[in-house]
Structure 1
């Protein structure tokens, strides 16, 4: 059947998106090496196969080459500049939003490819997300707490009728007190969490006790049962470990397989939490930056309702940005995270502003 104009427009849009995604993966591959580079190139090849599908359907209607959407055009450039988890998160979101499931013009294999591509990107981004989890959490929480708490504070005191100079003094006091409190809280939180994880981490030297165990009593099987293995599997696992003791490879380097069996997961268990000083410093800096933003209109000499509205507007824009950024890095829609952040911030500010008006009227 002759395709309709709507189908041609749709196919050309699909063609443009597939080309952009293929180029994004090639750009990411240029900044990688080893298996990750190979995976990126394989993904690019898969997108090129999808591109050929739409080229075959379009024929001469594929020319002139269609222009991709603005969001899609950003991906290759971001991949070239950053090549980081941010771009991987955008690529993951792009793959997950595939419209091929409900489109009969796309093959079932193409739809399945897109879903698997999303999982591949999720796996590639997992390590980077884990590495940045601690400090990123502290930075985002610090910035948002600074924005919301100081906006709420200065709106509350301004609504109560406090002089502009006193509003500034109160705002800077809130900035310093909040930043120090956030930094101390993050340091304690991360340190405590690392200590809890370390307490549950297997002893990396426990393997040294294995040669002295009674093979017949087989206490080693209890360890594997405690880790969730069935009694039969635990006994078999213990026998495998004991069998390694009789092999000539149990030397200084041959103890590595034994160590990995006994002390599985003994290192790196708390790396995802982050480092205490790094989290504390990130929290301090970003809280201070966030808390400074609502003060800008007052520093510029604005007073009264104009200063209040301007502070709220500036903070709203920043909340939309930080919320959208968290949404993107989480592999979700940016607008959902942005609106959620804005709603929470404005709700807190509205409450304190209302209380400020109430107390201002009561003391008038």
Structure 2
């Protein structure tokens, strides 16, 4: 039986490229996305033809692809672009590995799609003015990182507190003990996540600010040297020497513009990154963790004993399955596989802590 999974991937990727094209304000980039969509559609048809299948066997876009379209409408299409880039990287990696195993020569087409998408994100020399700002913003947000953080933050809260609650439920038979422990675990975990995120963002900002200050001092004391460095950077990107030196000279003439460009090109720092709020990141982490952590505690507000344990396990299993299903937006795995895997590991962890709690409870009696 022919595996149509690869065809579905091509259909979904083509569908998402078309969505990106329809919502891309830059006509040149939109044209690229449209042509990429047509290429993916052609790949899918070629696969069917290779296996003597009629084009009518071409599947429709999957539920995953349609969900990503909805996410794009709500959160912005940069998230969709991020998922497409991840998909292309995965496909490219598989092709390269297959060539290594079969000892066949690499082809430029193996990584062409990844290269095209990276060029769209990184080729600032062809973009100016407002478009540059938009692409800088896109570069920072691409990859669906915010969605990943939301999913993984909720997963951390759910799994850790579910295991904790089951351990205490196994060791005691009291409703109040489990409630107290569950809420304490929620607060402790959420506060720990929030503090960790705050420190991470704040320390990164302080490090960047220090590096930017050093770069400003170098620009003021040795502008000629900085101009030469900037020209060399452009030359290593493939820009002809004369053009690279002209670009560097024009940029250095404006100190503010030169400073921004130097910290981007030399240090890889975008000044916009410093505008992120450490407190906002901390609060977001707190909320995401708490949302997951409260799920296994809810039944113990109303029930006691084994009824509360079973209901907590049911709610947590549903939450774990939902998280597993959400992860498929980034991995491309089937919802049932990813959801069932998440439920299995979550319930296994909770069962172990419940068993240990029961043993401890018996030994203390």
Note closer, same or farther for the CA distance 1:353–1:281 as it changes in structure 2 (3 Å cut).
same
Counterpart position of 2:359: 358
CA distance in 2, matches of 1:285, 1:309: 26
Counting only pairs closer than 5 Å after superposition, residues 246-285 of structure 1 correspond to structure 2 as 253=254, 256=257, 260=261, 264-265=265-266, 267-268=269-270, 271=273, 275-285=277-287
CA distance in 2, matches of 1:87, 1:309: 38
Note closer, same or farther for the CA distance 1:268–1:250 as it changes in structure 2 (3 Å cut).
closer
Note closer, same or farther for the CA distance 1:191–1:311 as it changes in structure 2 (3 Å cut).
same
Counterpart position of 2:17: 25
Number of matched residues?
324
Contact 2:78 2:141 in 1 (8 A): no
RMSD: 5.0
Structure 1: 5+ residue stretches without partners: 1-5, 103-107, 214-219, 229-235
Q: Does 1:46 align with 2:47?
A: no
Which of 286, 298, 301 aligns to 2:300? It is 298
CA distance in 2, matches of 1:50, 1:312: 45
Q: Does 1:288 align with 2:301?
A: no
- Cα displacement (A) at 1:30: 1.1
Note closer, same or farther for the CA distance 1:296–1:186 as it changes in structure 2 (3 Å cut).
same
Counterpart position of 2:132: none
- Cα displacement (A) at 1:151: 1.4
Counterpart position of 1:164: 175
Q: Does 1:349 align with 2:331?
A: no
CA distance in 2, matches of 1:138, 1:125: 22
With the length of structure 2 as denominator, give the TM-score of the two structures: 0.65
Larger Rg over CA atoms: 1
Counterpart position of 2:72: 82
- Cα displacement (A) at 1:144: 2.7
Q: Does 1:68 align with 2:59?
A: yes
- Cα displacement (A) at 1:279: 1.4
Which of 146, 153, 156 aligns to 2:157? It is 146
Contact 2:263 2:270 in 1 (8 A): no
Contact 1:139 1:279 in 2 (8 A): no
- Cα displacement (A) at 1:292: 0.8
CA distance in 1, matches of 2:117, 2:260: 32
Structure 2: 5+ residue stretches without partners: 99-103, 123-136, 234-240
Note closer, same or farther for the CA distance 1:250–1:68 as it changes in structure 2 (3 Å cut).
closer
